[in-house]
Structure 1
Amino acid sequence: MTKTTSLNYLNGKKVAILGLGTENLEMMKYLLDKNVIPQYTIFDNRPQKLLNEKYPIIKKLSVSGWIGPGDNNQDKSFHIAFRSPGWPTFCPTLIWLKKNGTNISSPMNLFFEICPSKNIVGVTGSKGKGTTSSLIFRILRKAGKNVYLGGNIGIPPFSFLNKISSSDWIVLELSSFQLEDLEFSPHISVITNFTPEHLSPADPLNPNYHKSLTAYWKAKCNIFKYQKRGSFLIINSNIKRNVRHPGKLLRFSADAAGTDSYFEGDVLHLLKDRTRIRTNLPGIHNKENIAAAALATVIAGANISQIANAVKVFKGLEHRIERVALIDGVEYFDDSFATTPESTITAIKSFNSRIILLAGGAEKNSSFGKLAILMKKREITPILFDGKATPRLKSELLKCGYLHKEIHEVSSMTKAVQTAHRLAKPGSIVLLSTACASFGLFENYKQRGDLFKKEVRKLLKSSKDI
């Protein structure tokens, strides 16, 4: 169990909360539970009344001030500021706090500092980190470990910190925004892949982004920057960037012989062992995820049989090439989590059938050239949602030889699914994999995926398929 002595320095201190997200909120609840009561000032762009209604626990916290858009804060004397991942490190408020002597930290930094167990597996990557983290968690549980899963996957680690003992294992999905100011590295670090992502603001409520691809990679590197001897870095063999760290470097691949973990058909080669792997997860990218998870868990004490058994029953995560239904001979898949062209390309390559693709949406300054070429080569039927990025995607499709009449544009999920149902023929696939952010027509990728599944299930009422 955690000790509170190291937290006493926060008692009565002026603490700035930069964004009242779930990570900061769970940290504040944890401190309250430990009878550590700072004087909080909350910086958040949302109305105070809305936050009070959404989070009733705020009334029990010692909140002395609220700073919203346009408010002038005269108090410059904060002891420490805790930054939510969605809060940009380069924003004027944070720079102003630094200049006035405020220590800048984050809930994740504090978690690493006081966590009683150092058995931490951290997973990052442009895509695949949620699936890989979940696989590692399931495998370690199958191996009899007492293990917790948290981080960017939607579970703040402060929500289970009270339960952790020194021998437990913790698996953390870590986004680049959680990593960019992290001053600790996990004992076992995994980088699933690296492609351009988060290079422009997309989410109005979480406007963080990286100003360059170099800055994005630098943030990812913090997952191993502070590793020590005896630690492990597990990295995709497709990442050719120079990596320097004092621990052991291991590489994985979907099919590259000679790496430390790779597939030959359905046989997983794991260090000096090998076994046949049966999985419900489609696509080459999921072979990479499995190969990475296998390396991390064998280091943590799992054996290859436990790995194979856990993978066999793992059904994947919601909104990641998730099979929704079979209707009149047509399969419907929800891949709403695919918010970049690279992710949609990966999804397309997971299938050999004819595809009707639901794509387009909010702007992330991505390049659609390669996606458009693949869509034309595979004779994919495009259905495009309204959005700021959609005209650029449509333009690339036209350059590749699509006719205007072959591109279907819609302004709602209902219309998109109805159009796809009308165009689909038995044996084909309807794939929601937009290559764009969701904001505009939808609240987020989860709502977009949920609406897709809702509309698809309406079609089931008139069908005998399941």
Structure 2
Amino acid sequence: MTLDYKKIAVLGFSPRTGLEVVKYLLNFDVNIIVSDAKPKTELEDLISQLDDEKIEYDLGSKGSKILESELIILSPGVPYDLEILKKAREQGIETISEIEFAFRQSKAEIIAVTGTNGKTTTTELLAAMLFDLNGQKIKAAGNIGLPFISIIKDLEEGEKVILELSSFQLEAVKDFKAKIAIYLNYSPDHLDRHQTELNYKNAKKNIFSNQNSADYALLNFDDPYLYQLKDQLQSEVIGLSFKRKEADLIIKNNQAYYKKDKINLLDFSTINLPGKHNQKNAAFAALAAYTVGQSIEKIQQAAENYKLQSHRMEIINNSSGYLIVDDSKATNPDSTLKALSSLDKDIILIAGGQDRNADFSKLKQVVNDRVKILILLGEAADKLASLFKENEIEIIKVKTMEAAAELGAKRLRQDRALLLSPACPSWDMFSSYKERGEIFRKTVLKYID
């Protein structure tokens, strides 16, 4: 593989994607500009991993150095609409995502997964189902934590790869093409980055870019936006649903039934995945695995053996036998809606976090129906309290997760469930949703056990 460029810029020197792109470029006779708004003192660890005279650093600046390049490769955290990137495009400098660049460098066959929620669970399930496909182990990369660019050297032409793709990764693709594109669900998110819902929709829709009638689009027919999207696609659409009779795969009576081949792809009675949303995630993975030739037996076995990652509807075992659920990964209202709908007890809900101007109104009815005590914290606490003040529930605002978890633990009883499902990102108070979940777990167990 060759590169027809003399100078390439990498914008966003992140420890995962940015670093891996630079490492890949060092295999070619090309000069590299590494640009980041952070100063050199904050990036010394990354710089120490690279030692090459072909690299020119532009750190702690507005990135004007990238205008000297012929191609700009963006890390996912870099918005496509930055002024310096607009200027670059005006000058005829192409700006693309790492996913697009890796796609151009690889001849692998792509199974792509996107959606507002459930991407990682579906990607992991699909990877487990394809762990042994005719003697091959199919790799998973992308938003799941492994940059696509870091594995392309190991991929043979035509070999399959699973990519979890966020809107950040999809907004700057051009030639990218997936053999199978999976779109799980849609709800407005990341509007602080994309500015408008239309921009977010368009970024996500890029997963179907360049597909044709020989490719597949797997869609959630229970999602109104995705249902109407089916008529706009060039690929063969396969719909999944709990309720629409025209769907190709129907989830009913604990079975995922694929009408085309008159076969049950999954038997959920032996699969431990909480909530209908996770049943649908598993059905998407099963359908994709079946489409590429995996056996029903291996698909079912993988689903039965799969365990959700921590902080995703994770049940916290405790000596009192209470139902305590850590769903700290619920960083938007739609995730919390699914969590609330999946529990069959009255709920003590801990919610709130970074305020990204999300629309919480869809939570109003289910909170009114299911929640008895609402414990709020973080930037969005006042907004949430105002939304639910007319509901006949007890609302308590606290300053810390420790206080929220202690209060929830003390008010817990056998006929109630304690659920951490914030409906907001964690960045206002924590380094990540994982830290938020760990503090919740440790504090709750201190007062329960």
Tell me the TM-score normalised to structure 1 length.
Answer: 0.89
Shift of 1:41: 2.6
One-letter identity of the residue aligned with 2:9? A
- Structural RMSD (CA): 2.0
Alignment of 1:189-268 (within 5 A): 189-200=181-192, 209-237=193-221, 238=223, 239-243=226-230, 244-268=232-256
Matched-pair contact (CA < 8 Å) for 2:341–2:366: no
Matched-pair contact (CA < 8 Å) for 1:230–1:248: yes
Q: Deviations over 1:266-287 (max 9, x none)?
A: 1220232125232111111112
Q: Deviations over 1:397-451 (max 9, x none)?
A: 113344xxx2222222222211111111124221110011111211122221232
- Give the aligned partner of residue 161 of structure 1: 152
- Is 1:28 matched with 2:28? no
Question: C-alpha distance in 2, partners of 1:90/1:116?
Answer: 29
Question: C-alpha distance in 2, partners of 1:132/1:51?
Answer: 33
Tell me the TM-score normalised to structure 2 length.
Answer: 0.92
Q: Which moved more, 1:242-251 or 1:305-314?
A: 242-251
Question: C-alpha distance in 1, partners of 2:244/2:53?
Answer: 53
One-letter identity of the residue aligned with 1:413? M
One-letter identity of the residue aligned with 2:293? G
Q: Which moved more, 1:183-192 or 1:46-55?
A: 46-55
Structure 2 unaligned segments of length 5 or more: list them: none
One-letter identity of the residue aligned with 2:18? N
Matched-pair contact (CA < 8 Å) for 1:17–1:40: yes
- Is 1:399 matched with 2:390? yes
- Give the aligned partner of residue 366 of structure 1: 358
> Per the alignment, do residues 65 and 31 of structure 1 end up closer, same or farther by CA in structure 2, a change over 3 Å counting?
closer
> Per the alignment, do residues 39 and 82 of structure 1 end up closer, same or farther by CA in structure 2, a change over 3 Å counting?
same
Question: C-alpha distance in 1, partners of 2:80/2:295?
Answer: 41
Matched-pair contact (CA < 8 Å) for 2:171–2:206: yes
> Per the alignment, do residues 334 and 74 of structure 1 end up closer, same or farther by CA in structure 2, a change over 3 Å counting?
closer
> Per the alignment, do residues 369 and 129 of structure 1 end up closer, same or farther by CA in structure 2, a change over 3 Å counting?
same
Q: Which moved more, 1:38-47 or 1:217-226?
A: 38-47
> Per the alignment, do residues 60 and 426 of structure 1 end up closer, same or farther by CA in structure 2, a change over 3 Å counting?
farther
One-letter identity of the residue aligned with 1:177? F
- Is 1:435 matched with 2:426? no
Q: Which moved more, 1:180-189 or 1:54-63?
A: 54-63
Shift of 1:150: 0.7
Shift of 1:382: 1.0
Matched-pair contact (CA < 8 Å) for 2:113–2:164: yes
SS in 2 for 1:162: helix
One-letter identity of the residue aligned with 2:116? S
Question: C-alpha distance in 1, partners of 2:65/2:11?
Answer: 16
SS in 2 for 1:399: coil
Identity %: 31
The match for 2:118 among 128, 134, 143 is: 128
One-letter identity of the residue aligned with 2:329? F
SS in 1 for 2:214: coil
Q: Which moved more, 1:50-59 or 1:179-188?
A: 50-59
SS in 2 for 1:280: coil
Shift of 1:92: 0.7
Question: C-alpha distance in 1, partners of 2:423/2:362?
Answer: 12
Question: C-alpha distance in 1, partners of 2:408/2:344?
Answer: 18
Q: Which moved more, 1:14-23 or 1:183-192?
A: 14-23
Shift of 1:159: 2.2
Question: C-alpha distance in 2, partners of 1:235/1:74?
Answer: 42
Q: Deviations over 1:62-96 (max 9, x none)?
A: 33231424x57367321111111221111111112
SS in 2 for 1:454: helix
Question: C-alpha distance in 2, partners of 1:257/1:145?
Answer: 36
Alignment of 1:317-356 (within 5 A): 317-356=309-348
Question: C-alpha distance in 2, partners of 1:310/1:426?
Answer: 33
Shift of 1:459: 4.5
> Per the alignment, do residues 258 and 101 of structure 1 end up closer, same or farther by CA in structure 2, a change over 3 Å counting?
closer
SS in 2 for 1:130: helix
Q: Deviations over 1:14-49 (max 9, x none)?
A: 3222111221211211232x3x15333333222211
Matched-pair contact (CA < 8 Å) for 1:130–1:173: yes
One-letter identity of the residue aligned with 2:190? H
- Is 1:115 matched with 2:106? yes
> Per the alignment, do residues 73 and 213 of structure 1 end up closer, same or farther by CA in structure 2, a change over 3 Å counting?
closer
Matched-pair contact (CA < 8 Å) for 1:329–1:427: no
SS in 2 for 1:447: helix
One-letter identity of the residue aligned with 1:221? K
One-letter identity of the residue aligned with 2:111? V
Question: C-alpha distance in 2, partners of 1:38/1:74?
Answer: 16
SS in 1 for 2:316: strand
Matched-pair contact (CA < 8 Å) for 1:188–1:296: yes
- Give the aligned partner of residue 128 of structure 2: 138
Question: C-alpha distance in 2, partners of 1:317/1:199?
Answer: 26
One-letter identity of the residue aligned with 1:337? K
Q: Deviations over 1:269-314 (max 9, x none)?
A: 0232125232111111112112211211111111222211111111
Q: Which runs of 4+ in 1 moved over 6 A?
A: none
SS in 2 for 1:414: helix
Shift of 1:167: 4.7
Question: C-alpha distance in 2, partners of 1:213/1:179?
Answer: 15
Q: Deviations over 1:108-127 (max 9, x none)?
A: 11111121322x10000111
SS in 2 for 1:241: helix
- Give the aligned partner of residue 280 of structure 1: 272
One-letter identity of the residue aligned with 1:438? S
Q: Deviations over 1:141-193 (max 9, x none)?
A: 14443210110111112222222223532100001111112121210000001
Matched-pair contact (CA < 8 Å) for 1:121–1:189: yes
Matched-pair contact (CA < 8 Å) for 1:256–1:263: no
> Per the alignment, do residues 331 and 121 of structure 1 end up closer, same or farther by CA in structure 2, a change over 3 Å counting?
same
- Give the aligned partner of residue 205 of structure 1: none
Question: C-alpha distance in 2, partners of 1:75/1:284?
Answer: 47
> Per the alignment, do residues 124 and 74 of structure 1 end up closer, same or farther by CA in structure 2, a change over 3 Å counting?
closer
